[in-house]
Structure 1
Amino acid sequence: MSYLYIYLYCLDYPCLIGSSVPISRHIHDTSNIPFEEHNLDMPWLGMQLDYTYIEPILEILNSTEQPLLSRQEAHITVISPPEYRILSTSTNITIDELNHLAKSHKIQSSIFSVVCLGKVIQKENNFDHVVYQLIISSPSLIKLRESIFRLFYIRKGNPSLFDPHAFWPHITIGFTDHDLFVEQGIYKGLNACYRPITYLDSK
């Protein structure tokens, strides 16, 4: 995703405000990070990252007036709990099957680009719920979602209920109170771009 594209997108929108946020290129070194299964309670599918490269960004943002909370880990959600509920209740697709597909696609070696630092806000009772995230672009993860859609379709799932391209990948950095999700009407795509990013290390 080029900065020219973001610039053109943002001409009429209040995004990419302020100085760039530094980030290490090593955030992309994920192939040696073990894949983690999330099978309990509300199952979901994700790609794990090294939180070491996210924490410095949290520290930069925490120098502002509103201290941020963090889960102290980093991942990119590929199938959310609500999406899994649709897949499993409609066609009996299991989380084990999704984990198997993720491994066969080598999810931990997925290529992704960091587009910008994103910021989303939801106002409630005179309080701003703020979430910061890195906005991601990843054709590799979209291909994985397309494979999941094919399985869903083969199992006679209603294609109107799951769109593999309705996907806004991101890495959550921190939040003032709690995270915000698309089910609450919050979208974390290019619309959420707030500040540019700059890599600390050369290629």
Structure 2
Amino acid sequence: MKIAASLIATLALAATTIAAPDNKHGNKPNKPIVINKKVLQTSKVPFIPHSGTALFTNWVGLNVDFKYVKPVFDLVNATKAYGNGTLISRGEAHITTIPPTEYDNILHPAGVTIEELNALAAKNNRLQRARFGLECLGRVQVVTKDGVFQQSVQIILKNYKDILSYRNDVFKLFVKKGGNPALFAADNFTPHITIGFKNRDIFIEDGVYKGKNACIHPIVAK
């Protein structure tokens, strides 16, 4: 038990240490990163349903045009302090609105179906029309339980009340079906657009929070 506790403490200390932005080394951009403002025009991008029969295959996301995100990935990955050529891109971009774990562990057990969530998102192109702003370039780093260093870089969002409105309606549906309201908090949510990651993406289950707390560099849409 003492060895296990010591290992956990060591990993926690390492995660805390590496999570701090490196302000002294690396060829960081001197000015805000610029992304094409058309990345905000998601109403022109089709909504893509995500559903399946296995765990982690059902989720809801706001689809984002990757061609505007790709130049940012290339810049960040070529920057020594942020990517240094080690980042992996999914080749697509989205804003996860209902994550798989939230669906599998909370919504689905209460009787909420992925078809209902998709219908709610697709009605009048609601989710794709959601407006949002860009807060910053963010980065989260952690040593996971298997002892591997993980890093994920993302665009942190702000002014996303339209997305929260969707989540609030999901909450109403959840409660209507008898779900325990204490288990689903619509505003317990840190929307972002993942740019790239090392090894694999990391999530709140890994102990990281992709909110304003993770900001490392300004980004603007022009």
The normalised TM-score by structure 1 is 0.86
1:172 aligns with 2:172: no
Q: Deviations over 1:112-136 (max 9, x none)?
A: 1110000000125775311000001
What is the CA-CA distance between 1:16 and the residue it aligns to? 10
| Correspondence list, 1:131-142, <5 A | 131-137=152-158, 138-142=160-164
In the alignment, residue 74 of structure 1 is paired with which amino acid? A
Return the alpha-carbon distance in structure 2 between the equivalents of residues 67 and 156 of structure 1: 46
2:214 to 189, 192, 197: 192
Return the alpha-carbon distance in structure 2 between the equivalents of residues 16 and 144 of structure 1: 37
Query: Secondary structure at 1:156's aligned position in 2?
Result: coil
In the alignment, residue 35 of structure 1 is paired with which amino acid? F
1:75 aligns with 2:94: yes
Return the alpha-carbon distance in structure 1 between the equivalents of residues 184 and 220 of structure 2: 35
When structure 1 is superposed on structure 2, of 15-24 and 167-176 the one drifting more is 15-24
2:77 to 62, 66, 69: 62
Return the alpha-carbon distance in structure 2 between the equivalents of residues 161 and 127 of structure 1: 31
| Correspondence list, 1:15-54, <5 A | 19=30, 20-40=32-52, 41=54, 42-54=57-69
Are the aligned partners of 1:66 and 1:176 in contact in 2 as well (CA < 8 Å)?
no
Query: Secondary structure at 2:48's aligned position in 1?
Result: coil
Return the alpha-carbon distance in structure 1 between the equivalents of residues 178 and 147 of structure 2: 46
RMSD: 1.9
What is the CA-CA distance between 1:22 and the residue it aligns to? 1.5
Match of residue 181 from structure 2 = 159
Return the alpha-carbon distance in structure 1 between the equivalents of residues 91 and 65 of structure 2: 10
In the alignment, residue 50 of structure 2 is paired with which amino acid? H
When structure 1 is superposed on structure 2, of 59-68 and 138-147 the one drifting more is 59-68
How high is the sequence identity, in percent, across the aligned residues?
Answer: 38
Are the aligned partners of 2:134 and 2:220 in contact in 1 as well (CA < 8 Å)?
no
* Structure number, greater radius of gyration: 2
Return the alpha-carbon distance in structure 1 between the equivalents of residues 200 and 175 of structure 2: 34
Return the alpha-carbon distance in structure 1 between the equivalents of residues 166 and 69 of structure 2: 24
In the alignment, residue 67 of structure 2 is paired with which amino acid? T
In the alignment, residue 49 of structure 1 is paired with which amino acid? V
Where does structure 2 lack aligned partners over 5 or more consecutive residues? Answer: 1-19
The normalised TM-score by structure 2 is 0.79
In the alignment, residue 61 of structure 2 is paired with which amino acid? G
In the alignment, residue 111 of structure 1 is paired with which amino acid? R
Return the alpha-carbon distance in structure 2 between the equivalents of residues 36 and 127 of structure 1: 32
2:108 to 85, 88, 93: 88
Query: Secondary structure at 1:54's aligned position in 2?
Result: helix
Deviating runs (4+, > 4 A) in structure 1?
A: 14-18, 124-127
